Structure 1
Amino acid sequence: MNVDMDMFIPRKIKVGFQEREGTYSGKLGYATYIDEQGKVRKETSFDIWRNYRFEPEIFENTPMSGFVLNKKTGGIEKGQRRSRWKQRQTYIRIYDPRGFEVEISVENHLFILEHMNCMIGKGLDGELIYAWAEKELILLPVNSIEYEEIKRASEERIERKFVKAKELVVGSTYFTSPKETMVYLGLYDEYDILNQKSVYNHVVGEERYSSVKKPKQQHYFAKKATGYDKQHPYDLMTYTLTSKKQFGVSDETEHPELSDMLNSLEQHIIFCPVDPSKTIVEAMDMESFMRFCRDKRFGAQVVAENGKSYYMVPPEGDKELYLLGEKGGTGYGKNLYNGIKHSFQSYEEVFNLLKPHITHYYQVNGRLYASEFIPWVEHDKR
């Protein structure tokens, strides 16, 4: 088992019970925990699972000895017919000295045995504590090298100062989840983008950027952009907050990149939407078109002066340069333009015949947001 350093050791656990044969005490427990905000995690599942004949119990989550391994459960039982689809995941039952058993994964079981001796009739020699990796219960040996660091991080999380919406300070850094921190940027309008689809879904042109302002202003948070698509330098998250405590303080000092983060807001169309009245369709010059062709080595869509869309297939080896698209789709009308068949020896010939046009979309602040090859025959956008 790879011990997750984001594992959480709560101060209190809550255990519900069912009667169950094959356990030492006749009681199988479902353990969950009380988080740093005083909320019982997985409470709905907890209440569905437990038998209401037994009152659930809350325990201080401190290291304890006296745990005893019981048996494997799930998987293929003796006499059962093997089925890869109906097989229940294998678990190990372990007796808690407070009078119930819980189920742990086989990986957790092996990790325990790496750190503790198991004596026949006397159980495990050492102390365990309850921990959680996301939703998975882990019994963590306190003599493992990871324990002290996980305990320290958990205590920091529990002691974290939580704030209400009205207490948020622009420029301060907050935990927006147990693991993630973001910088608070302030309370602003936000716009819902109605059609976040591609041209392959037949949503093109200004339809892709149509937006509507949300009825309530949103609290904006930012962090460095992650992932492969780094169109913006910072990722945004927005929240409509109530008086409920939701965000823990990470750093109350002003973030050194606050000014850059605030400036980057103008680049996001949820903050500054596209203004259809500013849309411009213009003819490309030869230099821009040639640069575009060099960047699109595997083919690209272009829009001709006649307002129709063509797919330009570049030459490769002894293959010719050609166009598709005259008859309504990229799979038809090879080298047809206005009903006449052509042949092309160079991108210059394509440029001279098609006279390519491009559509520019601008935000309400006048900033160019995107330039795209969008046919306007059907949309009357020219």
Structure 2
Amino acid sequence: MTTSLFQPIQLGNISLNNRIVMPPMTRSRASQPGDIANDMMTTYYAQRATAGLIIAEGTQISSMAKGYAWTPGIYTPEQIAGWKNVTDAVHAKGGAIFAQLWHVGRVTHSDNIGGQLPISSSAIQAENVKVFIDNGTNEPGFVDAALPRAMTKEDITQVIEQYRQAALNAVEAGFDGIELHAANGYLINQFIDSEANNRTDEYGGSLENRLRFLDEVVAAMVEAIGAERVGVRLAPLTTLNGTVDANPIETYIAAAALLNTHHIVYLHIAEVDWDDAPDTPLSFKRSLREAYQGVLIYAGRYNAEKAEQAIDAGLADMIGFGRPFVANPDLPNRIQHGFPLAEHVAETLFGGSEQGLTDYPVYQLED
């Protein structure tokens, strides 16, 4: 069955076999100490290399950027070497893989960042937000996110440089490109959304000011590795991890238009994906399509039928399937042939070993 999901697509300098994206999903299996991508993770991603594009799990750009126990980094030689094993394995299977570069800002606890205070746009605590720490057992220990301190101008300059270096590290590690995580209430989002940013300098207040940090980070990464290797993820209408914007439609159309000026290779929109969440308005999707002219990816509650409709309507170019990829390493084949999808085991999503990570089988036709 040949459908729009299985049409090839050009993404910058690389040709993708289909329009199915494996979006970034935190799995918290990095080796300790050192937060290093390991053989388990190499197997996991290689198993899923038939995705048109894999965007690897959120990967912290510095020791201060870490939000959760056992998540991988990309700022030490050992971490770069660990990821090189992953990218080599994915490429050997004919796949393409981007790194998601991640700074959580205030969505962390001092135990995850060497006892330091978290940093954010402002000294505002994320309300009712839990993060998990290594409490000495194999089970993550959930604690409240800590009260951050507001970033100084020096902090901002330093973090922009960390993003730039992380982009270079990702290319050294063999990634085809990077995705800037500017969604889900993490650091960039803490500057963008009005209710998470009470700064009175050029990084706060007006919409133009609240988008400045995003603008400067993207500019630094585009300069370092080229626009054809830089994607950005936004979550316009969610309030994840306590970030709320007073006028999200206006804010995120402006963000998309800004990103268009950088000619980034794709814009990845995370839609609200809990069961009773409202659908993203069609008018907003059309406005996003007008504001940003590159490859547009959507993720959140999509099945094959909805994905086809979005692509056929011209609203999206590629579609991300998150949780279905956890339990279905051969997801594109299952979608293409209408095979049933396996369900993931929620208890094995975060932390642990191969169980719930690499032991899901491909679909076998019965004799």
Structures share fold, TM-score greater than 0.5: no
Q: Which has the larger radius of gyration?
A: 1
Identify which of structures 1 and 2 has the higher relative contact order when contacts are C-alpha pairs closer than 8 Å and 6+ apart: 2
TM-score (norm 1): 0.18
Q: From the two aligned structures, give the one with the greater strand fraction.
A: 1
